[in-house]
Each structure stands twice: as C-alpha cells, then as structure tokens.
C-alpha cells in the first residue's frame, strides 16, 4: 500500500489523491462517505480530492440519488495524466516565448520600463504588499519565506483578519504557500497558527524559490536577497504585466500541487 502511494506521488498525485484512488481501485463504485471511512481522509476535503482526481482523469462520477465515484482504468488514467502534463508543458513553452519577446525588446536600463518598479526599504515593501492585496479582486497568491518584513503582533493580526473578512464577502480567494522552517519547527508552527487566518487556503512545502505576491493576473512583487549589497537585505521588484504573471501563476500552481495543508503537516509532526 505504502509503495503504491509513493509511486503515485512520484507521478504527480498528492498523498490524499493517491489514497482515494487506491480505495476506488479496490472498492469499484463507492460514495464519498465510504472513501473517507476507508482512507481516513477528512470529510471536509474528500470532495476537493475527488474533483482533482476527476480533473486528472483518474476518477468518474456515477449519477444517482446519492453521487458515487468509480476509478478509471489505471492505464487510461496514466495516459490522461500524460496528456495533462503535455498541455502544461506546451503552455510553459508558449509563456517562455512571450517572456523572450520581453527580453529581446528590453529598453536601456537608464530608462526603466513604466511597468517595472524597484523597492529597497522595508516600509515601502510592506506598504506595496498590502496595496497588491487590497487591489486584488479575484485571487491573491503568495510565496512566504524568511526573512519576514512584517512583525507578527496582535495588532497586525487584527487588521489582517478584518481585511480578510471584507475580501471574503466579495468572493476573493487567498492562497498562501509557506516554506517550512526545518530548524525551528515548533516556533514556525506557533507563528503560523497565530498569524494566518483559517479562512485562507494555506499549504506548506520544503522549499520556495523566492518571496512573492501575485495580485490577480495584473501585478506581482518578487523579493530577493540582495547578494551584491549586504546593507540591503532584500530588493523587491514589482512588475505590472500579464505576460509575467501568467508564467508565475504556472510556477505557483506547480508548487501548490506538491505542497501539503497546515493541519496535515502538524499531524505528521505529532506522529
């Protein structure tokens, strides 16, 4: 069982997706409730997992008074996944072409493009981060990793909670990825539980390539360590261009698919 889960993880399924699919293979036609009992996947997540399996071509629904689910033949399912990867690869190649056009047409650095801005001070980065979050109307995606430019204090939590309340009323989505602090695990979890809002979609992963916030498909702020000037710990670049945000959303989705929810991470740490 564990070997099969590992193999499914390697080809692109998450742990929960792998567990649900293996249940479907053994049980033929089952309800979501039956899958939760066998696989120990929480009821709150089972429909999301099954919908992802359907999108990837590993599962189909059986109509009826009570919706049931059935596994797709493994050979067909793997072929479906290969087709999905091919489409993603093609989209990434198309994005690379668009980015190369930007690269070829770049202007002299003495005359910066009006859609690119550079920030070096901590207050300006915090202000811009809030601004990008505020102007977003549909979805905010973030890569979060140290060093953090904002102190985790009760006032900032209250302000952020009020902002999220208003955002959720408007139907906006907040998806946040956090890089796991392997050296201070306990403190890392405590800070996350204190700072994040349960209404956000939160996932964790071992490594993130950069700090980043993407506002809808309109603008992105990328913060990188400044290796050239030790006095400036971070330099932030803001780009308001859909060609770049398209590419970075693809990158975000790749890391999001591999990441695990916070509650699952805490559960694994306590085992």
Residues 265 and 243: their CA atoms lie apart, in Å, by: 34
Residues 32 and 62: their CA atoms lie apart, in Å, by: 12
How large a percentage of the chain has pLDDT more than 70? 82
Greater model confidence, 84 or 184: 84
| pLDDT tens readout for residues 156-170 | 444 555 555 555 556
Cβ-based neighbour number of residue 259 at 10 Å? 21
Residues 211 and 221: their CA atoms lie apart, in Å, by: 8
Residues in the chain: 271
Q: Are 105 and 97 in contact (CB under 8 A)?
A: no
| pLDDT tens readout for residues 177-219 | 998 887 777 777 777 766 566 667 889 998 999 899 999 988 9
| pLDDT tens readout for residues 6-29 | 888 888 888 999 999 999 999 889
What 8-state DSSP symbol labels residue 66? S
Residues 54 and 56: their CA atoms lie apart, in Å, by: 5
User: Which of 173, 179, 174 minimizes the C-alpha distance to 148?
Assistant: 179
Q: Is 108 helix (H, G, I), strand (E, B) or coil?
A: coil
CATH numbers and ranges of domains, the chain:
2-77 (1.10.10.10), 107-270 (3.30.870.10)
Residues 141 and 149: their CA atoms lie apart, in Å, by: 17
Q: Are 12 and 81 in contact (CB under 8 A)?
A: yes
Q: Are 241 and 130 in contact (CB under 8 A)?
A: no
């Amino acid at each position: 069982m564990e070997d099969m889960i590992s193999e499914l993880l390697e080809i692109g399924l998450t742990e929960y997706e792998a567990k649900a699919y293996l249940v479907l293979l053994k049980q033929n036609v089952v309800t979501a409730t039956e899958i939760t009992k066998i696989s120990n996947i929480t009821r709150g997540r089972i429909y999301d997992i099954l919908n992802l399996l359907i999108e990837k071509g590993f599962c189909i629904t059986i109509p009826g008074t009570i919706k049931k689910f059935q596994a797709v033949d493994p050979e067909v399912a793997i072929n479906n996944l290969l087709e999905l990867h091919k489409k993603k690869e093609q989209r990434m190649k198309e994005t690379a072409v668009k980015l190369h056009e930007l690269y070829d047409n770049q202007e002299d650095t003495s005359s910066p493009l009006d859609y690119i801005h550079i920030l070096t001070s901590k207050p300006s980065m915090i202000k811009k981060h809030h601004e990008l979050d505020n102007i977003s109307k549909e979805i905010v995606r973030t890569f979060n990793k140290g060093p953090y430019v904002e102190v985790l204090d009760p006032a900032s939590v209250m302000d952020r909670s009020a902002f999220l309340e208003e955002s959720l009323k408007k139907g906006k989505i907040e998806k946040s990825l956090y890089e796991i602090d392997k050296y201070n695990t306990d403190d890392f979890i405590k800070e996350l539980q204190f700072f994040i809002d349960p209404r956000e979609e939160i996932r964790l992963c071992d490594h993130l390539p950069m700090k980043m916030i993407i506002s809808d498909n309109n603008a992105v702020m990328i913060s990188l360590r400044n290796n050239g000037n030790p006095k400036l710990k971070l330099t932030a670049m803001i780009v308001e261009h859909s060609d770049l945000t398209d590419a970075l959303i693809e990158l975000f989705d790749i890391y999001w698919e591999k990441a695990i929810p916070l509650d699952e991470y805490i559960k694994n740490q306590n085992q």
